[in-house]
Amino acid sequence: MEQSMKSIRHVFTQRVYSMESITHEEEYVRFNAREYSPLWSLLADWSKSEDEEEWRQHIPVFTEIISRWSRKGYIAVHVGPEWPAFDGGELITGPDLERLLEDHTTWEYEENPDRVIGLSPGRNFQEIPPAR
Protein backbone atom coordinates (compact mmCIF):
# COMPACT_ATOMS: atom_id res chain seq x y z
CA MET A 1 0.00 0.00 0.00
CA GLU A 2 2.79 2.45 0.91
CA GLN A 3 4.54 1.74 -2.41
CA SER A 4 1.27 2.41 -4.28
CA MET A 5 0.88 5.77 -2.54
CA LYS A 6 4.44 6.71 -3.53
CA SER A 7 3.64 5.83 -7.14
CA ILE A 8 0.42 7.85 -7.07
CA ARG A 9 2.27 10.84 -5.53
CA HIS A 10 4.96 10.56 -8.19
CA VAL A 11 2.42 10.52 -11.04
CA PHE A 12 0.51 13.45 -9.50
CA THR A 13 3.72 15.44 -9.03
CA GLN A 14 4.73 14.80 -12.63
CA ARG A 15 1.33 15.96 -13.90
CA VAL A 16 1.44 19.13 -11.82
CA TYR A 17 5.00 19.81 -12.98
CA SER A 18 4.06 19.25 -16.62
CA MET A 19 1.30 21.87 -16.27
CA GLU A 20 3.88 24.46 -15.24
CA SER A 21 4.06 27.52 -17.46
CA ILE A 22 6.50 30.37 -17.74
CA THR A 23 6.00 34.04 -16.92
CA HIS A 24 5.98 36.86 -19.42
CA GLU A 25 9.50 37.84 -18.30
CA GLU A 26 10.71 34.28 -18.81
CA GLU A 27 9.16 34.27 -22.28
CA TYR A 28 11.25 37.37 -23.06
CA VAL A 29 14.39 35.53 -21.97
CA ARG A 30 13.45 32.52 -24.13
CA PHE A 31 12.79 34.75 -27.15
CA ASN A 32 16.03 36.69 -26.69
CA ALA A 33 18.05 33.46 -26.28
CA ARG A 34 16.61 32.25 -29.59
CA GLU A 35 17.72 35.54 -31.14
CA TYR A 36 21.25 35.32 -29.56
CA SER A 37 20.61 38.78 -28.08
CA PRO A 38 23.10 40.77 -26.03
CA LEU A 39 21.93 41.38 -22.46
CA TRP A 40 21.43 45.12 -22.98
CA SER A 41 19.03 44.32 -25.83
CA LEU A 42 16.85 42.20 -23.54
CA LEU A 43 16.40 45.21 -21.23
CA ALA A 44 15.77 47.64 -24.08
CA ASP A 45 13.14 45.34 -25.60
CA TRP A 46 11.45 44.69 -22.27
CA SER A 47 11.28 48.35 -21.21
CA LYS A 48 10.59 49.63 -24.74
CA SER A 49 12.97 52.43 -23.86
CA GLU A 50 16.43 53.69 -24.77
CA ASP A 51 16.86 55.07 -21.25
CA GLU A 52 19.44 52.91 -19.46
CA GLU A 53 18.30 54.26 -16.10
CA GLU A 54 14.91 52.69 -16.77
CA TRP A 55 16.61 49.43 -17.80
CA ARG A 56 18.32 49.11 -14.41
CA GLN A 57 15.07 48.57 -12.53
CA HIS A 58 14.55 45.33 -14.48
CA ILE A 59 18.03 43.87 -13.91
CA PRO A 60 17.15 41.94 -10.69
CA VAL A 61 14.24 40.11 -12.35
CA PHE A 62 16.25 39.10 -15.40
CA THR A 63 19.35 38.26 -13.35
CA GLU A 64 17.31 35.73 -11.37
CA ILE A 65 15.77 34.15 -14.48
CA ILE A 66 19.05 33.96 -16.39
CA SER A 67 20.90 32.51 -13.41
CA ARG A 68 18.20 29.88 -12.74
CA TRP A 69 17.74 28.95 -16.39
CA SER A 70 21.48 28.70 -16.95
CA ARG A 71 21.72 26.15 -14.11
CA LYS A 72 18.89 24.15 -15.72
CA GLY A 73 20.59 24.27 -19.11
CA TYR A 74 17.69 26.14 -20.72
CA ILE A 75 19.91 29.00 -21.84
CA ALA A 76 23.60 29.78 -22.07
CA VAL A 77 25.50 33.03 -21.55
CA HIS A 78 28.65 33.70 -23.54
CA VAL A 79 31.17 36.52 -23.57
CA GLY A 80 32.67 37.01 -26.99
CA PRO A 81 34.54 39.57 -29.05
CA GLU A 82 31.49 40.37 -31.20
CA TRP A 83 27.86 39.44 -31.83
CA PRO A 84 26.78 36.67 -31.68
CA ALA A 85 28.73 36.09 -28.48
CA PHE A 86 28.50 32.29 -28.60
CA ASP A 87 30.45 32.24 -31.88
CA GLY A 88 34.03 32.24 -30.65
CA GLY A 89 33.02 33.37 -27.18
CA GLU A 90 33.48 31.78 -23.77
CA LEU A 91 30.61 30.04 -21.98
CA ILE A 92 30.11 31.61 -18.54
CA THR A 93 28.56 29.52 -15.75
CA GLY A 94 28.35 29.17 -11.97
CA PRO A 95 29.94 31.81 -9.74
CA ASP A 96 31.49 33.55 -12.77
CA LEU A 97 28.02 34.04 -14.24
CA GLU A 98 26.68 35.30 -10.91
CA ARG A 99 29.47 37.89 -10.71
CA LEU A 100 28.93 38.92 -14.32
CA LEU A 101 25.18 39.40 -13.88
CA GLU A 102 25.65 41.41 -10.66
CA ASP A 103 27.94 43.89 -12.44
CA HIS A 104 25.72 46.72 -13.75
CA THR A 105 28.14 47.40 -16.63
CA THR A 106 27.29 43.94 -18.00
CA TRP A 107 23.85 45.28 -18.92
CA GLU A 108 24.96 48.58 -20.48
CA TYR A 109 24.94 49.42 -24.17
CA GLU A 110 28.28 50.34 -25.73
CA GLU A 111 28.65 51.84 -29.20
CA ASN A 112 31.86 49.94 -30.05
CA PRO A 113 32.19 47.23 -27.41
CA ASP A 114 35.37 45.24 -26.85
CA ARG A 115 33.15 42.35 -25.69
CA VAL A 116 29.57 41.20 -26.16
CA ILE A 117 27.64 39.36 -23.46
CA GLY A 118 24.87 37.39 -25.06
CA LEU A 119 22.24 34.76 -24.54
CA SER A 120 21.79 31.60 -26.58
CA PRO A 121 19.69 28.46 -26.34
CA GLY A 122 21.12 25.95 -23.87
CA ARG A 123 21.33 22.16 -24.10
CA ASN A 124 17.87 21.82 -22.50
CA PHE A 125 16.21 24.71 -24.34
CA GLN A 126 13.42 22.48 -25.65
CA GLU A 127 12.45 21.59 -22.06
CA ILE A 128 11.31 25.13 -21.23
CA PRO A 129 7.63 24.91 -20.25
CA PRO A 130 5.11 26.71 -22.47
CA ALA A 131 4.17 30.35 -21.97
CA ARG A 132 1.00 31.26 -20.06
Model pLDDT for residues 59-113, shown as the tens digit of each residue: 999 999 999 999 999 999 999 999 999 999 999 999 999 999 999 999 999 999 9
Mean pLDDT of 37-62: 93
| Per-residue confidence (pLDDT) for residue 117, from 0 to 100 | 97
| Per-residue confidence (pLDDT) for residue 15, from 0 to 100 | 38
Q: Tell me: pLDDT of 14 over 50.
A: no
With contact defined as beta carbons under 8 Å apart, do 29 and 75 qualify? Answer: yes
129: left (phi over 0), alpha (psi -120 to 50) or beta: beta
pTM: 0.82
Q: Tell me: pLDDT of 35 over 70.
A: yes
With contact defined as beta carbons under 8 Å apart, do 72 and 58 qualify? Answer: no
CATH number, domain 20-127, options 1.10.3470, 3.30.160, 1.10.3510, 2.40.30? 1.10.3510
